[in-house]
Amino acid sequence: MADAFKAEIEDLKKKLSQNPDSLTFVPLAEAYRKSGMYKEAVDVCKAGLEKHPAYTSARVVLGRLYLEQELYDEAAEELKKVEVVDHDNIMVHSMLGNIYVKKQMFAQAVEQFQRVLSLNPEDMETQDKLQEALSAKQTVPSESKKEEKIAPPPPAAKEEKPAMTDLQKSLKVAELYSKKEEFDKAIEVYRELLEKDAENIIIQQRLREVYDLQQKKINKQKEQSEKRKSAESDKITAEDILDVMKEAVENDLVDEEKTEPPAKKEEPKKEAKKEEPKKEEVKKEEPKKEEPRKEEPKKEEPKKEEPKKEEVKKEEPKKEEAKKETVEKAPEISDNKKIEIGNVLQSLSTVDGIVGSLFLLRDGQLVASVLPTTINKSEIGGIVASIVDKTEQSVKNMKQGKLNQVVIASEHGQLLFTELGKGVLFIIGDENINVGKMGLVLKQVKEKMKQLM
Amino acid sequence: MDFKSLLQKIVSSVDGAIGAGVIGEDGIAIDQFSSKSDFDITAAGAEYSTIISNAKKASQSFGLGKTNEVLISTEKATMIMMMVGDNYFVTLALSLDGNLGRGRLELKKSIPELEKML
């Protein structure tokens, strides 16, 4: 195992030196942690966080590094920073709960464990911890005094809370504006926040990100308008384009006549003829017709059951569904989203026993991955997509509805995959993986990924 | 005890169990027992074996060694499959509210006995 980490550490060090601004410092810190090199892990993490102060996953890793070294105050400090911006982070609440137990601050521990359970009520481990913290809270009468000595005085902490909530709310509002691409409004919110707290590095970082996004949008718009101008100067008229499109649609219909029974073809043909003059409608039809054809041969079901007319009629709505699916199956994921998904996967690597994870689209296109160096990234996307596809097909054939999740337990580890929106999340765990914990984290990750997709 | 009695014992001792079966990797079921008349594991044998063979491929691709167990949750049911030796597996289908933990335990307990029978 140590050798495996050595190789991984060397590889990650090389990558980081080649691109010092990358996020590789997190897996490197994790590799150091796993091989017990805590000092190196903390140093790498701190250096990385100086460049990426808003990278919460890294802060969680740093918090955990401190926690494992029993540096509870330092750990709490880092984790609280994450809590401010990501108040639904189960891992953070769980770790903070553990820290408070160690510090015998049971009231705070109870609060943290309750927050974990509000996010995942089925977490048995936290249920036990909550019970223990509750009974400890009752049996330790001098607790409040202890807390006063160790922690900042409770009244002050209480006063801070509304301010934190306001900050969280404002950050969320700004995030929403940013997601809606209303960058001016997002910038306004961040500026207002900075007026109150000019040194807040998280807000500074976010503001910078919004400026970047805004600039990208402006550049895109410029490009598009330039393209439009050049298209206008071109001598090909819209009517010419329309003719080409009509031809393409008619060719498609001819193709369909060849491949499909007569009952089916009439409807679309009539529609197409009636709607010929309308440019937009013809445009919309084109991709719908091409894409499902690519999909159908894979699934094979309709081919085997071809003959009966009634069945064909029943199949029609399915076809439309397939069209919708295929339109959704080829989404374009922006670089920003890929980075965010990568960050989510990175946070998974902080869970004990998880050695890697990847997120890919249904066609096998790898969106983001955090994998050990022993796994060949270029090959794995295709392999995983094929496994997911075949398993899904089997479940479908068994008429057991949609596939939710698969866990494969093997000699040296476990694999888990689950459908997430337009893609598949695949997690690789070693033999020591805590399946309960993984389920808990997975639930949290699913929520985050859904938002991202 | 024969296969059917053992499978019946598993199904009756797990809350929410729908059916159980012993299936060869070639997809042919050796025996099955189901608590619902419309649930036929024999018919689904080929699909189960496809799932197992995919799981084995996945494990190999990631260097995780021999596959011991596969757990699938779908919209309608949860299915547990555990390898019995190299060429057979025992499977248990549960309703969504079925007791998964008990199901896994009962299957694990049955493996030594099944190995003797096979």
CA–chain centroid gap for A391, Å, is: 23
pLDDT of residue B111: 95
Question: Percentage of residues in chain A with pLDDT exceeding 70?
Answer: 67
pLDDT of residue A258: 44
CA distance A173 to A133: 35
Top-confidence residue, B10 or A191:
B10
For A293-331, write each residue's pLDDT tens digit: 333 333 333 433 333 333 333 333 333 343 333 333 445
- Please name which of A317, A421, A426, A287 lies closest in space to residue A366, comparing C-alpha atoms: A426
Q: Is the dihedral of CA B50, B54, B59, B65 positive or negative?
A: positive
How many residue pairs bridge chain A and chain B with CB atoms within 8 Å of each other? 98
Place of tokens 């091989």: A35
CA distance B58 to B56: 5
pLDDT of residue A224: 78
pLDDT of residue B69: 94
Top-confidence residue, A291 or A134:
A134
Top-confidence residue, A55 or A314:
A55
CA distance B56 to A387: 10
pLDDT of residue A331: 55
Residue type, A37: M
- Please name which of A75, A73, A133 lies closest in space to residue A101, comparing C-alpha atoms: A133
Kindly state the average pLDDT of the residues A39-52: 88
C-alpha distances in Å from residue B37, one per residue of A281, A301, A346, B33, B77: 50, 26, 47, 10, 16
Kindly state the average pLDDT of the residues A397-410: 86
- Please name which of A95, A97, A106 lies closest in space to residue A147, comparing C-alpha atoms: A106
Best residue in B49, B57, B72 for a mutation probing chain A (most A CBs within 10 Å)? B72
Report angle CA A20, A26, A32 to the nearest 5 degrees. 105
Query: What is this model's ipTM?
Result: 0.95
DSSP tag of B76: S
**Closest in A380, A387, A402 to B54, CB measured:** A387
Q: Among A116-130, A135-149, A349-363, A411-425, where is mean pLDDT lowest?
A: A135-149
Residue type, A325: E
CB atoms within 10 A of CB A102: 14
pLDDT of residue B37: 65
Inform me whether the C-beta atom of residue B74 falls under 8 Å from chain A C-beta atoms. Answer: yes
Collect all residues of chain A within an 8 Å Cβ-Cβ radius of residue B65. Answer: 410-412
pLDDT over 70 at A265, yes or no: no
What is the set of domains in chain A, with CATH numbers?
A: 2-169 (1.25.40.10), 249-329 (no CATH), 335-452 (3.30.450.30)
For B44-103, write each residue's pLDDT tens digit: 777 888 889 888 988 888 888 899 999 999 988 999 999 999 899 999 999 999 999 999
pLDDT over 60 at A147, yes or no: no
CA distance A127 to A32: 32
pLDDT of residue A152: 44
pLDDT over 60 at A283, yes or no: no
Most confident listed range (A17-21, A219-223, A329-333, B103-107): B103-107
Inform me whether the C-beta atom of residue B105 falls under 8 Å from chain A C-beta atoms. Answer: no
For B14-41, write each residue's pLDDT tens digit: 999 999 999 998 888 888 898 876 667 7
CA distance A405 to A387: 13
Contact B82, B107 (CB under 8 A): yes
Residues spanned by the domain of B82: 3-117
Rounded-to-10 torsion of CA A202, A204, A210, A216: -120
Q: Which two tokens stand for residue A399?
A: 């008429």
Number of residues that this document lists for chain B = 118
Say what angle helices A90-102 and A435-452 make with each other, to 10 degrees: 140
**Closest in B44, B50, B59 to A408, CB measured:** B59
CATH code: domain of residue B83: 3.30.450.30
Q: Is the dihedral of CA B57, B61, B62, B63 positive or negative?
A: positive
Inform me whether the C-beta atom of residue A432 falls under 8 Å from chain B C-beta atoms. Answer: no
Inform me whether the C-beta atom of residue B38 falls under 8 Å from chain A C-beta atoms. Answer: no
**Closest in B66, B70, B76 to A400, CB measured:** B76
pLDDT over 80 at A449, yes or no: no
Structural domains in chain B (count) = 1
Percentages helix, strand, coil for chain A, rounded to the nearest 5? 70, 10, 20
Instruction: Name beta bridge partners: A409.
Output: A414, B69
Say what angle helices A154-179 and A201-233 make with each other, to 10 degrees: 0
Say what angle helices A124-139 and A106-119 make with each other, to 10 degrees: 160
pLDDT over 70 at A239, yes or no: no
Collect all residues of chain B within an 8 Å Cβ-Cβ radius of residue A399. Answer: 76
Query: What's the whole-number average pLDDT of chain A?
Result: 69
pLDDT of residue A322: 37
